[in-house]
């Protein structure tokens, strides 16, 4: 794993890159350059993380060679049982084990499907369970902090469904009164909660009550905060939501991929919505990586890690506030926060580009009521999960805040 001072204390990545170079020097060298970039840079992208070597090894294992369309027989009572290929004895056991471990992680009797290739694929399938094309969905828009798949017009979600959006209040917090009012007005079949760029606790209980009142299903996309839910640093959507989607590579620190949890009565629909509706063969190597990730998430070390992620985020955010910066919602409750650059003559993109040049990686992001385009933006999103994996503590992040402040002061002069 990469250390906080830009070293690698294992040989795992370097040895694998040498293998690749034997077959393709070009690809091997490009991966090596990316490896050096990742190792040397300060990584602040809120949706990224560094998984363990064990997760990486599972993802690069012989399971990558195996087809296993369908679902394992054992323990599945959904009616979608059985595989369409022979030789699945061991991948069946791995997939069952993966499902069992994730239920343990969230201490839930919800059904789980671990096959979605990504969070977007998981959301695509979850919509299929809850709504038909043309149905009304009440959701959180991309420019306020939602995800692309929460109804953006350039995405399948905005294209297939009649999207209505709830808003944030003038401080940038999700306006639960607006959620309630819009739900009563538009009578949605589905309400979507969850975000990609929202720094505050989401009130899943109230979302659940509103959904119940208007007869809608509630889908929670907990991709960003899933790790915080595991550690008890964010209220759980289990018990409130009918469908819960997540990725496994953000705060959960596993392989790139998705999962869907659902109330047991939706299990059969969820399984069919993933395979054969949205996907063919599951990536059993990634499913093995998800199982390893679940075991890691069950440890007390992982929960300590998440507590530190949140403490670091609060300290990092406070350092910017102390230096006079504007932060959307004025702070953070989770692993990320949004710096508001609307008063500056340069954009979020400009800051992202300038920080790239000094080895600090983050991403431009729209902020509520942004006057700039999504390609420019008036904000940047800052997250602490990756560097906390590398051992950063509060003081380390305060130093990074000072470096970003110095760069902004420089940009004020020459940009
Ligand atoms: N694009 C991811 C993010 O950065 O939050 C979500 O899928």
> For residue range 221-260, what is the model confidence (pLDDT) as tens digits?
999 999 999 999 999 999 999 999 999 999 999 999 999 9
Q: Does position 150 have pLDDT exceeding 70, yes or no?
A: yes
- Stretch 322-335: mean pLDDT: 98
Element (H, E) at 237: none
Q: What is the pLDDT of residue 80?
A: 58
Catalytic residue chosen out of the listed positions 76, 189, 200, 250: 250
Instruction: Identify whether the C-beta of residue 366 lies closer than 8 Å to the C-beta of residue 375.
Output: no
Catalytic (active site) residue 32: no
Instruction: Identify whether the C-beta of residue 168 lies closer than 8 Å to the C-beta of residue 174.
Output: yes
Q: Is the CB of 254 under 6 A from ligand 1?
A: no
In sequence order, the β-bridge partners of residue 85 are none
- Stretch 1-24: mean pLDDT: 94
Q: Is the CB of 196 under 6 A from ligand 1?
A: yes
Q: Is the CB of 208 under 6 A from ligand 1?
A: no
How far apart CA 49 and CA 247 sit, in angstroms, is 12
Instruction: Identify whether the C-beta of residue 293 lies closer than 8 Å to the C-beta of residue 324.
Output: no
Measured in Å, residue 40 CA sits from the centre of ligand 1 at 23
Rounded CA Rg of the chain: 21
Catalytic (active site) residue 67: yes
Q: Is the CB of 256 under 6 A from ligand 1?
A: no
How far apart CA 331 and CA 316 sit, in angstroms, is 10
Measured in Å, residue 82 CA sits from the centre of ligand 1 at 33
- Stretch 22-50: mean pLDDT: 97
Catalytic (active site) residue 256: yes
Segment 53-97, tens digit of pLDDT: 999 999 999 999 999 999 997 545 555 578 999 999 999 999 999
Placement of tokens 């989401």 in the chain: 202
- What is the chain's mean pLDDT, rounded? 96
User: What contacts 240, CB < 8 A, 6 or more positions away?
Assistant: 204, 205, 207, 208, 218, 220
Q: Is the CB of 250 under 6 A from ligand 1?
A: no
Assign 1 a pLDDT band (cuts: 50, 70, 90): confident
Assign 414 a pLDDT band (cuts: 50, 70, 90): confident
Percentage of residues of the chain with pLDDT beyond 70: 98
How far apart CA 127 and CA 94 sit, in angstroms, is 27
Which residue's CA is minimally distant from atom 3 of ligand 1? 47
- Stretch 364-385: mean pLDDT: 96
How far apart CA 288 and CA 92 sit, in angstroms, is 11
Q: Which two tokens stand for residue 334?
A: 């989770």
Q: Does position 173 have pLDDT exceeding 60, yes or no?
A: yes
Q: Is 174 helix (H, G, I), strand (E, B) or coil?
A: strand
- Stretch 133-161: mean pLDDT: 96
Q: Which two tokens stand for residue 394?
A: 């509060």
Which residue's CA is minimally distant from atom 4 of ligand 1? 47
Q: What is the pLDDT of residue 74?
A: 55
How far apart CA 266 and CA 253 sit, in angstroms, is 27
Catalytic (active site) residue 271: no
Q: Which atom of ligand 1 is nearest to the CA of 224?
A: 5
Q: Is the CB of 119 under 6 A from ligand 1?
A: yes
Which residue's CA is minimally distant from atom 6 of ligand 1? 196
Give the residue from 304, 234, 289 showing the smallest Cα distance to 258: 289
Q: What is the pTM of this model?
A: 0.96
- Stretch 175-180: mean pLDDT: 98
Measured in Å, residue 120 CA sits from the centre of ligand 1 at 9
Instruction: Identify whether the C-beta of residue 2 lies closer than 8 Å to the C-beta of residue 50.
Output: yes
User: Could you give the angle at the alpha carbon of 320 between the alpha carbons of 358 and 371, nearest 5°?
Assistant: 85
Give the residue from 109, 106, 105 showing the smallest Cα distance to 75: 109
Q: Does position 35 have pLDDT exceeding 80, yes or no?
A: yes
In sequence order, the β-bridge partners of residue 258 are 247
User: What contacts 181, CB < 8 A, 6 or more positions away?
Assistant: none
Q: Is the CB of 147 under 6 A from ligand 1?
A: yes
Instruction: Identify whether the C-beta of residue 35 lies closer than 8 Å to the C-beta of residue 66.
Output: no
Instruction: Identify whether the C-beta of residue 268 lies closer than 8 Å to the C-beta of residue 81.
Output: no
- Stretch 296-324: mean pLDDT: 98
């Amino acid at each position: 794993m990469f250390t906080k001072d830009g070293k690698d204390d294992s040989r795992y990545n370097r040895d694998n890159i040498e293998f690749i170079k034997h077959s393709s020097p070009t690809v091997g060298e490009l991966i090596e350059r990316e490896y050096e970039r990742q190792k040397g840079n300060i990584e602040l992208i809120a949706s990224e993380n560094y998984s363990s070597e064990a997760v990486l090894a599972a993802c690069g294992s012989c399971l990558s060679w195996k087809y296993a369309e369908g679902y394992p027989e054992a323990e599945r009572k959904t009616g979608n049982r059985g595989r369409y290929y022979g030789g699945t004895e061991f991948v069946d056991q791995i997939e069952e084990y993966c499902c069992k471990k994730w239920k343990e992680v969230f201490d839930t009797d919800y059904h789980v499907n671990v096959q979605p290739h990504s969070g977007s694929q998981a959301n695509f399938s979850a919509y299929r369970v809850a709504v038909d094309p043309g149905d009304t969905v009440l959701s959180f828009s991309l420019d306020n902090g939602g995800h692309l798949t929460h109804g953006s017009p350039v995405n399948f979600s905005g294209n297939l469904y009649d999207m209505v959006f709830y808003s944030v209040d003038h401080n940038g917090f999700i306006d639960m009164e607006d959620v309630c009012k819009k739900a009563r007005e538009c009578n949605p079949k589905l309400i979507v909660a969850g975000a990609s760029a929202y720094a505050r606790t989401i009130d899943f209980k109230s979302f659940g009550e509103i959904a119940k009142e208007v007869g809608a299903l509630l889908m929670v996309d907990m991709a960003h905060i899933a790790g915080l839910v595991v550690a008890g640093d964010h209220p759980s959507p289990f018990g409130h939501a009918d469908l819960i989607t997540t990725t496994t590579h953000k705060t959960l620190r596993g392989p790139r991929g998705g999962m869907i949890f659902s109330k047991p009565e939706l299990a059969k629909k969820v399984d069919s919505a993933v395979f054969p509706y949205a996907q063919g063969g599951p990536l059993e190597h990634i499913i093995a990586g998800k199982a390893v990730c679940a075991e890691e998430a069950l440890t007390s070390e992982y929960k300590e890690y998440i507590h530190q992620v949140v403490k670091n985020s609060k300290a990092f955010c406070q350092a910017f506030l102390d230096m006079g910066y504007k932060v959307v919602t004025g702070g953070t409750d989770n692993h990320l926060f949004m710096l508001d650059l609307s008063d500056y003559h340069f954009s979020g993109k400009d800051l992202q580009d300038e920080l790239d040049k000094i080895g600090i990686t983050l991403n431009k992001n729209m902020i509520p009521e942004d006057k700039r385009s999504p390609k420019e933006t008036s904000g940047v999103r800052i997250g602490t999960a990756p560097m906390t994996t590398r051992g950063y503590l509060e003081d380390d992040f305060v130093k990074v805040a000072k470096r970003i402040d110095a760069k902004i002061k420089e940009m004020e002069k020459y940009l």
